Amino acid sequence: MYEREEGRLIEYKKSIDNISVPETALNTAILTGFQKAKHEESKKRQSKKWMFMAAMIAVLLISFITSIRVSPVFASYIANIPGMEEIVELIRHDKGMVAAIESDYYEALGVSKQKNGMEVVIDGVIADEQGIVLFYTINTEEKKRSVTINQAEIRNQDGTELEIPTSSSYNPEINEAEFANSFHGLIEYFFQYPSNTTKFILHLEVGGETFELPFILTKDREENKTYVLNETVTVEGQEITFLDVTIAPLRVGIHVKMNPDNTKKILSFDELQLIDEQGEVWSRLENGVTSSSIADDEWMLYLQSNYFKDPEELNLVLGKIQTVDKEESMVIVDVENEVILNQPKRNLFTGVVREGDYLVFKYNEEFPYSFFSQSYDADGNILYSDSSFSTASEGRGTNEFGYHIEHILGQKSPISLIIDFFPEWIIGNEKIKIK
Amino acid sequence: MSEDARKAIAGDDEAFLRLMQAYKVDLYKTAIAYLRNQDDAIEALQEVTYRAYKNIRMVKEATYIKTWLIRIMINYCNDQLKRNKQIVINDEIIVTHGIFENYTEMELRDAMQDLDERSREILMMKYFHDLKIKEIALVLECPEGTVKTWLNKALKELRKRIDGSGEGWTNHV
């Protein structure tokens, strides 16, 4: 029917097939593109490492004191379980999990599967009614710089779905220095509703291979302790109500609600802490799921657990709270012209440029947070984004925050980005008594 | 090759570079067909390498890595064409920078450029990369019947444009 058109198309292809190919230029192009992507990846990695370092310094101060105090017991305990040192390395920053291991609440499993030169081992778990933390090792025949877990799901062995709204920490720490045969990491799952399931299957996809690992928990799970508070505090005009506190082995959940009429949007409780009668402190979780949102103005905030410490008195301290005025809680960017059309009054961002599919914001303050996680086009359609990076420079240089928007040039500008974190704080000096 | 594809998806840099080597000519020619100009096509390959590396972990099926790469190239070229539409190019520049001399080819090329994105994409995949209807359907994630319908429509539109410009060729900018 369209032979003539088809014929011409084929002719056209032939003519293009005949053109000479600039081999060298193409090779250079591939390398340049590759290096650009690599460079961004390393920028990302650097920033993550940098944040992790900052967290480590803060936490080491605390956990050193703890670990020195418990060290004889702890050290002998670790020495008795093969592979335990790596596990402790993974959770060193979390007092609650260290305490769980010290209290013999860790359950060793050693379930493994092998396939095509790769072995996946579930070393063990820490589980409570609300969640489960899996410690795994991936062994590879070939030495590698890293392994990537593409998918990690757990199901009930009887086939019923577990409602798991949040999970985190998929990938093992990247071995930056050298190639290795063994990679350690942890995966956290938190259930929607308290669960006492004991028979699970872990479904894992690593480097193109699929593994199904069934496992059964036999250790009794400790019950949560819940304290009802219903106490409202006013911090610089903003009303915050603490509803209740749930103390579980893995973490402490603080249920909090903001008054919808507040003039400021509360972004993050940076310094929320629990303090006992001896002045011992439990802070926010450093990694993993640090909060979850129940409604627009209602959150669960997670702190490291003091379940196994069980102090006599316990108080909640607020400290610095990140906020932004509700009226200015959005940054608007004209992508084509690389211009910020709107941002909070203090003009933190000094500029924006587009690099590939990233919007890169420049600013001069030390603030290693991810500023945005949601964005919309000019018509209010939500845009797809799967990554962001931040780079920090030494001293008072310019920092960058890059936010990815898929297919950015095809989107209708201006683009609005919702602020999730911002360097503005209110300070709460209140102390709330839990017990 | 599918072994390299599998490794590349799993994060192996060397396998990724080998893949790009293997498909660079196909990708380059696609870019030439769209952008008509050597410098732009080289830049396109660079950008496609960048985008591919960033997203390769999302590829589910290693067998279709080539079509996946070509699709990234086509998307990139479509974006470039959209941007260039706003820039007025005079004929002289096209002649000196262009690669084609032949008038009938130029006519076809212009007719192609005047098509909607989907028609252009389908024609490219079918006649340029010799993909089967089934493969196109997989890449576009739609039933084979739909691909056939679209292909027919694309050819029809192409005919209209070629016939319509029969008497006096005009440059669409």
DSSP strand pairing (A339-342 vs A252-258): unpaired
Of the candidates A165, A97, A122, the one whose C-alpha atom is nearest the C-alpha of residue A305 is: A97
CATH number of B102-168: 1.10.10.10
Per-residue pLDDT at A121: 93
Distance, CA of A101 to CA of A95 (rounded, Å): 10
Of the candidates A114, A118, A172, the one whose C-alpha atom is nearest the C-alpha of residue A145 is: A172
CB B107 within 8 A of CB B165: yes
Higher pLDDT, B129 or A80: B129
Mutation site, B28, B40, B50, interface A, largest A CB count within 10 A = B50
Q: What are the backbone dihedrals phi and psi of residue B112, each rounded to the nearest 5 degrees, phi first?
A: -60, -45
How many residue contacts between A and B have a Cβ separation below 8 Å? 120
Per-residue pLDDT at A75: 57
Of the candidates B96, B100, B97, the one whose C-alpha atom is nearest the C-alpha of residue B110 is: B100
User: A28 to chain B nearest CA, in Å?
Assistant: 8
Cβ separation B105–A12 shorter than 8 A: yes
Per-residue pLDDT at A303: 93
Which residue type, as a one-letter code, is found at position B48?
V
Per-residue pLDDT at A397: 65
Cβ separation B49–A407 shorter than 8 A: no
Cβ separation B11–A207 shorter than 8 A: yes
Encoded tokens for A188: 């956290």
Q: What is the predicted ipTM?
A: 0.78
Task: Please determine, for residue A72, whether its predicted confidence score (pLDDT) is greater than 60.
Answer: no
Specify which residues A431 forms β-bridges with: A317
Determine contact: A42 vs chain B, CB below 8 A.
Answer: no
CATH number of A225-321+426-433: 2.60.40
From A23, which residue of chain B is nearest by alpha-carbon distance?
B25
CB A123 within 8 A of CB A137: yes
Cβ separation B29–A16 shorter than 8 A: yes
pLDDT band at A62 (very low <50, low <70, confident <90, very high): very low
Of A66-70, A431-435, B17-21, B98-102, minimum mean pLDDT range: A66-70
From B80, which residue of chain A is nearest by alpha-carbon distance?
A409
Task: Please determine, for residue A416, whether its predicted confidence score (pLDDT) is greater than 60.
Answer: yes
**HSE of A137, CA atoms in CB hemisphere, 13 A:** 19
Distance, CA of B65 to CA of B59 (rounded, Å): 7
User: A356 to chain B nearest CA, in Å?
Assistant: 8
User: B41 to chain A nearest CA, in Å?
Assistant: 9
Per-residue pLDDT at B30: 87
Cβ separation B104–A26 shorter than 8 A: no
pLDDT in tens, A393-412: 555 567 888 888 888 888 89
Of the candidates A47, A75, A150, the one whose C-alpha atom is nearest the C-alpha of residue A393 is: A47
Task: Please determine, for residue A166, whether its predicted confidence score (pLDDT) is greater than 80.
Answer: no
Cβ separation A356–B29 shorter than 8 A: no
Q: Where are the domains of chain A?
A: 49-216, 225-321+426-433, 328-419
CATH architecture of structural domain B1-99: Orthogonal Bundle (1.10)
From A387, which residue of chain B is nearest by alpha-carbon distance?
B54
CATH architecture of structural domain A49-216: Sandwich (2.60)
Q: What is the mean pLDDT of residues A144-164?
A: 78
From A205, which residue of chain B is nearest by alpha-carbon distance?
B10
pLDDT in tens, B48-75: 999 999 888 877 777 778 888 988 898 8
Task: Please determine, for residue B153, whether its predicted confidence score (pLDDT) is greater than 80.
Answer: yes
From B156, which residue of chain A is nearest by alpha-carbon distance?
A2
Rounded to the nearest 10 degrees, the angle between the axes of helix A23-80 and helix B13-35 is 150
What length does chain A have? 435
Cβ separation B33–A12 shorter than 8 A: yes
Determine contact: A3 vs chain B, CB below 8 A.
Answer: no
Within 10 angstroms of residue A315's Cβ, the number of other Cβ atoms is 16
Specify which residues A152 forms β-bridges with: A204
- Nearest beta carbon to residue B45 from set A30, A36, A150: A30
Determine contact: A40 vs chain B, CB below 8 A.
Answer: yes
pLDDT in tens, A289-310: 677 778 888 998 999 999 998 8
How far CA A50 is from CA of A45, A179, A365, A403, A404, in Å, comes to: 8, 22, 15, 18, 20
Distance, CA of A17 to CA of A3 (rounded, Å): 21
pLDDT band at A234 (very low <50, low <70, confident <90, very high): very high
Q: What is the mean pLDDT of residues A1-12?
A: 81
User: B29 to chain A nearest CA, in Å?
Assistant: 7
pLDDT band at A178 (very low <50, low <70, confident <90, very high): low
Q: What is the mean pLDDT of residues A217-229?
A: 91
Q: What is the mean pLDDT of residues A138-152?
A: 80
Task: Please determine, for residue A177, whether its predicted confidence score (pLDDT) is greater than 70.
Answer: no
Per-residue pLDDT at B68: 85
pLDDT in tens, A306-335: 999 889 999 999 999 999 999 999 999 999
User: B53 to chain A nearest CA, in Å?
Assistant: 7
Q: What is the mean pLDDT of residues A347-354?
A: 91
pLDDT in tens, B85-115: 544 443 333 333 344 445 666 777 778 878 8
Per-residue pLDDT at B84: 62
Distance, CA of A106 to CA of A347 (rounded, Å): 49
Cβ separation A34–B53 shorter than 8 A: yes
Cβ separation B155–A6 shorter than 8 A: yes
Task: Please determine, for residue A95, whether its predicted confidence score (pLDDT) is greater than 60.
Answer: yes
Task: Please determine, for residue A64, whether its predicted confidence score (pLDDT) is greater than 50.
Answer: no
Distance, CA of A48 to CA of A51 (rounded, Å): 5
Q: Which helix (H) or strand (E) holds B4?
A: helix B2-9
Sole residue written with tokens 């919007």 = A359
Indicate if B102-168 has the same CATH topology as B1-99.
Answer: no
pLDDT band at A81 (very low <50, low <70, confident <90, very high): low
